[in-house]
Amino acid sequence: MTNSFLSEFRKFQSRRAFPSLILSSIIFFSSIFDGYPLYSSAQAAQKKNNIVVSSTGKRTYQLTFKELGSRYPLNLRGVDGKDSVRFNIRADEVVTKALLKIQYTYSPALLRDLSHINVLVNDEITYTIAIPKEDPTGSVEKTIELPINLITEFNQIQLQLIGHYTLQCEDPLHSSLWVNVSNNSILELTIDPVKLQNDLAILPLPFIDIRDSQPPVVPFVFMGPPNKAVLESAAIVSSWLGTFSKQIGVRFPVSLDGIPAKGSAVVAIVGQANISGVDIGALTGPTVAMVANPSDENGKLLLIMGRDDAELKLAATALATGSKALNGERAVISQLDNLVMRKPYDAPRWMSSERKVKLGELATEKILNVSGYNPGPIDINMRVPPDIFGWNNKGAPFDLKYRYTPQPVSSLNSSLLIGVDEKFVKSIQLFPIEKMSQGAELLAKILPDATLPMEEKMRLPLFMLQPRSQLQLRYMYDYIKEGECHDVIIDNVRGAIDPESTIDLTGFSHFIAMPNLSVFSNSGFPFTRLADLSRTAVILPDNASKEEYSVFLTAMSRMGESTGYPVMAITVNQGADAKNIEDKDLLIIASGGNQPLLKQWAKYLPADLDGDNKTFNLSDWVFKIWSFFSPQSSNSISNPKLSYTSGGNEVLFAGFESPLQSNRSAVLIWGAKAENLVKATDLLLGAEGYEGKIEGNLSVLNGTEIENIAHETTYYLGSLFWVEYIQWWLSNHLFVFLLFAALSTVLLAGLIYLMFRVKAKRKLM
């Protein structure tokens, strides 16, 4: 009988019920004391939209407000409540129809004749929604057609509540003045394609467009089975395209037998190839060209060409490093200077650990300035090196310089809230002038824009600074009531974060316990430790399938997106060449039994992948703890393993130390069948519909559930200061620490005893 992995794993857990209870309890309390949950936060998942494509290329698709960036419902409060969402239109598309399908609820106390909701597109009122006369019975839906002449490449839809609850004098922020707009409200767009010129200057269009809200998909075409040089060239191009992705990478479906009938694609060509309908012309050197897709007038083919492998790689490198300088339909590369090798942790998108990082490097001035009594949060995205070691540390120094509009009087409720990934860190009071000591001196510091510059030195807890983190700062001003018929809201308060504010990661060691699939999933670590992946080798099967090539290119795009730099120095090998890559971290991609190395390295893997029979090594530390409390059971407990037979639907991510060299890492991406690797691509891109996260050293996907299996094999990357290392080592070896403490106590007592003996002898003399 064939049993799924999940059912067998749960049966195994039930047989070890009590030890599993101990394990669950330890994990639970560890998560409390460590200050963070067992599963780290991850980037928001991409979502597949309902897309309809006509025979003429016209597309109709829907985007919810949540997909447009509104994490919560839009709350319109007060006599003039406002909130907005933004959307973009690709440069190669034009909107022919736009529908807004709003779902909202409203306060029963609103006066129907005076209250309404304005819909603005790019600051122009396009529609006014009257409050229904009847009492609300739940969520109200309203469909509005937006004028397409107001829609440009970058757009904002703003909803404005004009609310009143009485004909007499009213409180402009009364609790009855509200409308709640669901973030499941929909923007439906109908798009016509626009034909672009065959010009390299428009790159990365039409393949990647920063305006596009859809997950990017770029077909990649190999003209026959690719060799090592072709695959390395393709990795450079795919990672270069990944640097432009505002998602977390690009999906690359691969073709080995021709160009796609519709859309655009990247084509790698060595020698003189023949593409039906495309005049490639005679090659005279490394060449990059953009031509029309012969079967789709709106599609483009990006041709990366060379007369031999070396020229192809040179063309790919020139594209990735100098695409901004290329123009015209065709460019022949005559010279390319040697690239400077990258240094550890110098990825352009990563925060430096060798100097203080200014917030102005992480966010634009527009983002750092807000206005209004209750503006939205200032969100600053951060890429933190995954192996920053923060054990027994107070946190990263944060020198926050900020400005705000001081109110003459206040009830001391105005504040600047600081958090990371929606976790509270600190609240800073925004004092009014009357409450400030040295008020006259502070008044003299008020700037011409009526804001007061201030500074706060604090620390950000390192456990909150995940590889992908978001620093959130939010101004909240107290509204001062003047009395009946005197209350008027004047939009004259401002807040700003100084771009010179700094976060300091210097002084922290780089040290991390491995294997750790979570840091691989989030940031490509340890491969991305060097942004050009010069210490990384990818191992593919001798006769890889297009699905394996697709996972490979998608993984490379993830690396480029993580670091902001193409994988210029990547090495690609097949299983037989593994002996030549001892001093590199290994990314292994395989399916079924097509990778002989998996059998050779079986003893190093956390799982034995022998055909349909699977064996997983489970951690036995929890059972050792149980045997400490129940010694009579120790004979019956051995290193636990789980074996089962499978129908071949699994996808597996495994991390382990490289069998070729110690302190080098290996990550395996494996599917029971080649077609299963499509799911591996989904997981690499953070697609929705899957339960769980890739973590630990072994993650198994069966259906839509990710099960993480712990195993105690551990090694460490990086180094610590010697004092820090001793402290950390003793904290992980309790009995040695107790012995050390006992010896220190005895030694100290002996010294004290000798000291008193000497003093006593002196008194007797």
Query: Which CATH number does 200-332 carry?
Result: 3.30.379
Where does the pLDDT of residue 629 fall: very low under 50, low under 70, confident under 90, or very high at 90 and above?
very low
For the cut 50, the answer to whether the pLDDT of residue 30 exceeds it is no
Q: pLDDT band at residue 56, thresholds of 50, 70 and 90?
A: low
Distance separating alpha carbons of residues 542 and 594, to the nearest angstrom: 8
* Percent of the chain residues topping a pLDDT of 70: 82
| Angstrom distance (rounded) from CA 404 to CA 410 | 14
Q: Write down the residue that tokens 């090196």 correspond to.
A: 385
Q: What is the pLDDT of residue 640?
A: 46
Q: Band of the pLDDT at 136, cuts 50, 70, 90? A: low
pLDDT in tens, 216-229: 999 999 988 999 99
**Helix spans in 200-242 (H):** 228-242
Taking residues 28-51, what's their average pLDDT? 37
In which band, very low, low, confident or very high, does the pLDDT at 135 lie, cut at 50, 70 and 90?
low
Query: What would you measure as the largest C-alpha separation in the chain, in angstroms?
Result: 113
Q: Is the peptide bond before 515 cis (omega within 30 degrees of 0)?
A: yes
Least confident of 18-27, 60-69, 112-121, 500-509: 18-27
Burial of 515 (0-12, 13-18, 19+ CB in 10 A): buried
Tokens 């120094």 belong to which residue? 397
Most confident of 157-161, 636-640, 685-689: 157-161
Instruction: Write down the H helix ranges in 484-639.
Output: 517-523, 546-563, 597-600, 621-629
Residue burial 261-296, b: 16+ Cβ < 10 Å; e: rest:
eebbbbbbbbeeeebeebebeebeebbbbbbbbeeb
Report the DSSP beta bridge partners of residue 221. 255, 267
The CA distance from 440 to 433, in Å, is: 9
Q: Residues 48, 49, 52, CA angle at the centre, nearest 5°?
A: 125
Q: What is d(CA 287, CA 271) in angstroms, rounded to the nearest whole number?
A: 11
Structure confidence by residue, pLDDT tens digits, 518-532: 999 999 999 999 999
The pLDDT, as a whole number, for residue 475 is: 92
* Whole-number pLDDT of residue 576: 66
Please give the distance of CA 127 from its chain centroid, rounded to a whole number: 37
pLDDT value at residue 51? 66
Q: State the pLDDT confidence band at 719, using cuts at 50, 70 and 90.
A: confident
Q: Which residues pair with 426 in a beta bridge?
A: 418
**Angle at CA of residue 673, ends 670 and 674, nearest 5°:** 80
Rounded-to-integer distance, Cα 127 and Cα 112, Å: 17
Please report the pLDDT score of residue 539 as a whole number: 95
Q: For position 371, what pLDDT does the model report?
A: 86
pLDDT higher than threshold 90 for residue 460: yes
Q: Tokens for 674, please give them.
A: 């080649």
132 cis-preceded (ω within 30 degrees of 0): no
* Per-residue model confidence (pLDDT) at position 482: 64
pLDDT grade for 211, boundaries at 50, 70 and 90: confident
Q: Which CATH number fits domain 360-500: 1.10.3470, 1.10.10, 2.60.120, 2.40.10?
A: 2.60.120
DSSP code for 724: H
Tell me the mean pLDDT in the region 301-310: 95
Residue 591's alpha-carbon distances to 171, 641, 673, 744, in angstroms, are: 67, 23, 5, 56
pLDDT digits (tens, 9 = 90+) for 660-690: 888 899 999 999 899 999 999 999 888 888 8
Of 493, 406, 402, 405, the residue nearest 453 (C-alpha): 402
pLDDT at 329 over 70: yes
Q: Which fold has domain 51-193?
A: Jelly Rolls (2.60.120)
Segment 473-483 shows an average pLDDT of 79
Whether 360-500 and 51-193 are alike in CATH topology: the answer is yes
How high does pLDDT run on average in the chain? 83
| Region of residue 199 (phi > 0: left; psi between -120 and 50: alpha; otherwise: beta) | beta
| Predicted local distance difference test score (pLDDT) of residue 435 | 65
pLDDT-derived band at 485, boundaries 50, 70, 90: low
Could you list the beta-strand ranges (E) of 441-510: 452-460, 468-476, 494-497, 502-504
Q: Which helix (H) or strand (E) holds 380?
A: strand 378-383
- Let me know the angle formed at the C-alpha of 484 by 479 and 487, rounded to the nearest 5 degrees: 35
Task: Find, among 620, 617, 623, the residue nearest to 656 by Cα.
Answer: 617
- Quote the CA–CA distance of 297 and 647 in Å, as a whole number: 44
Percent of the chain at pLDDT > 90 equals 48
**Rounded Cα–Cα distance for residues 476 and 371 (Å):** 10
**Residue 734 confidence (pLDDT) above 80:** no
Q: For Cα atoms 181, 185, 188, give the angle at the middle one, nearest 5 degrees.
A: 145
**d(C-alpha 666, C-alpha 418), whole Å:** 38
CA-CA distance, 81 to 70, in Å (whole number)?
16
Q: Which helix (H) or strand (E) holds 762?
A: helix 734-764
pLDDT number for residue 527: 97
For residue 519, the one-letter residue type is V
Q: What residue ranges do the domains of the chain occupy? A: 5-43+510-716, 51-193, 200-332, 360-500, 733-764
Q: Model's pTM, two decimal places?
A: 0.83
pLDDT class of 47 with cuts at 50, 70, 90: very low
pLDDT band at 20, cuts 50/70/90? very low
Which residues have C-beta within 8 Å of that of residue 681, sequence separation ≥ 6? 251, 550, 551, 554
Whether pLDDT at 156 is above 70: yes
Of 688, 721, 718, 722, nearest to 706 by C-alpha is: 688
Given the structure tokens 């039994």, which residue do they identify?
A: 593
